[in-house]
Structure 1
Amino acid sequence: MKKRIVFIVMLLSIASSQIAIADTGVVNTASLRIRQKPSLLSNITGYLLKNEKITTLGKSGDFYIINHGGKTGYIGSSYVNLVKSTPVSTKKYGQTTATILNVRSGAGSTYPVTGSLALSSKVTILGTLNGFYKINYNGKTSYISTLYVKVTSSTSTPTPAATPIVTTAAKPTGVGNITASDFLNVRKTASLDSNSTIIGSLKPNQKIDIYETQNNFYKIKYSNQWGYIYKKYVSVINEASSSADYIPNGQQSTTATTGNNIVSYANTFLGTPYLWGGTSPATLSTTGKYIGGGFDCSGLVLYVYKHYGITLPRTSMDQINEGTPINIDNLENGDLVFFTTNTSSPSEVSHVGIYIGNNKFIHCPKPGDVVKISELTGYYKENFVIGKRVIK
């Protein structure tokens, strides 16, 4: 009898680890699949549309449990923004201690950076996982390193929500080319004073959008914040930015560019090596030896579209929010195609390519690989999420 009681307690303990307090959420992707079981390999039983409201019944791994049509279903938690949670009696509050603290989509340094917090930003700590604090950032569950946060209190009194460093849209007034023989410092303020914080640097011959002039400095955007570079080492090559503003919220960019133009230009980079974080073509020596440069998947998309004056977000997770949703059977040349390829986060969009017709797409898949053409069949068809049309 005692053994049976212990066994039941163990089962209840395991079950409780999968249960989350009921939350209300809103779907943040164009078409969210409902699955029969908490697995990407499970059968699809239905779909939810963007901005559709749901109530979670619990959580199993990376999936929320919901009731859909009177039946239990599972949806990827990455595609839901929680808007209401049952309050807890005690919360922790903290203050950032780093000049710039990266905000990530998951609890680990390999997860994509989705934003940043300035020094002394106040945050509400929702939990701790793998050396990271769980916070709410721009309405989404995000993570910041515990190493750069000082816990200030444990109370039920709310504190101001964390806000991104750069939130206002601005249009570039020109394009500059870095003429320094070495790296050019990017400063937090328009000053050469020793107390002026250096937030990064730019490489020789690197091109950068200029937003305004302040004394002897140009104002630029650097790592999602405003920065300043010394004018002496910058040559203005355009009085107005060559890149067109992208129209957000699902609208398309109006341009003379065609899907065939996109495909033709993308094909010129076939064989370019994969480089994590890379957004530029490879540089070769006179003998053809690789020196540097290259693309990751979203970097290739970013570079190709920017060539035609269309500015897209940097990462695949943000690029999927642009353009008009397209079904896999209605793809046209130049459409973006998105996939879930990260086994550690199977419900999260992690890869993007450009459709080139005939059920094929061009992409730069992974380290050690190159820009190449693949069939939209088998593995890629199974992990296909959605297509997006960015140009008319």
Structure 2
Amino acid sequence: MILPAKFVRTALLTVAVSAVCVVGASAASVGAGTVNTDALRLREEANSSSTILATASKGDVVVILEEESNGWYKVDYKSVEGYMSADYLDVSTKADVTIGYGLVETDGSPLNVRSGPGTDYSKVTSLNDGAVVTIVGIDNGWYKVKTSGGSVGYVSSDYMVTCKDSAGSRGDGTVVAASSSLGQQIVDYAAQFLGTPYVYGGNGPNSFDCSGFTSYVYRHFGYTLNRTATGQLSNGVSVSKSELQPGDLVFFKSGGSKPVSHVGIYVGGGQFIHASTNTYEVRYDNLTSGYYNNVYVYARRVL
């Protein structure tokens, strides 16, 4: 995810990254918010009727990007920006918990890693522009990070954006190598809806149709799919049946004039999970033999 526009940083930048430069980064983090309810929706705008971008579970930690306004916080959840109700977040300026990956954006300058959350602390190491590290905490607008070499320290959140994986995929539509770990997370999350009723037009979480199910599951991880099975043929990139990985979308055609009539999520081992129109519930089925093997037509990789 690429967060807002480029602008020039002056005095602070000379201390934090060695020289004045132009960077593209999000607003500095204010702190961390811990979800205190079973499920909390991330909204596109600061109101309860706007589009749902993802759903966080109890105990999940989000990055607070702006102070509370009219009962809402602007947050970053798994590298997706949106708004969450302040009523369901326990907010602190400090948290020691892994919240994902961070991508250094300094327009070419090195970024100093400090031993503490401030420029008065000693330098531990430095990071090149474009480096990706694991974010393991937040402290008063600074990210606590762990580098690939094992060093732990603090960097100003002004010069880092969150990203979806260690390869630096930022959720902006750029196609990168699939993350098998993220694919497995998607499969595991989808499994919690086993037995949920199939209802035509259902968008979840209490009922789904086939594309409503895939859309809902992917949205939880910050990916927006087209709403219909046919529309989802335009999401991601094509993969062959022999190359399927957990999390890939699988498509079927059992008749009609449209290119596909059904969609599910591959889980591995020749199985997929879907909102079935045969048993009218979310269930697993076999992709390599029987009915669905015969009507299988395409697969797409979104991750």
Under TM normalisation by the shorter chain, which class is it? 0.3 to 0.5
Q: Which has the higher contact order (CA 8 A, sep 6+)?
A: 2
Task: Give the structure-1-normalised TM-score.
Answer: 0.35
Question: Which of these two proteins has the greater Rg computed from alpha carbons?
Answer: 1
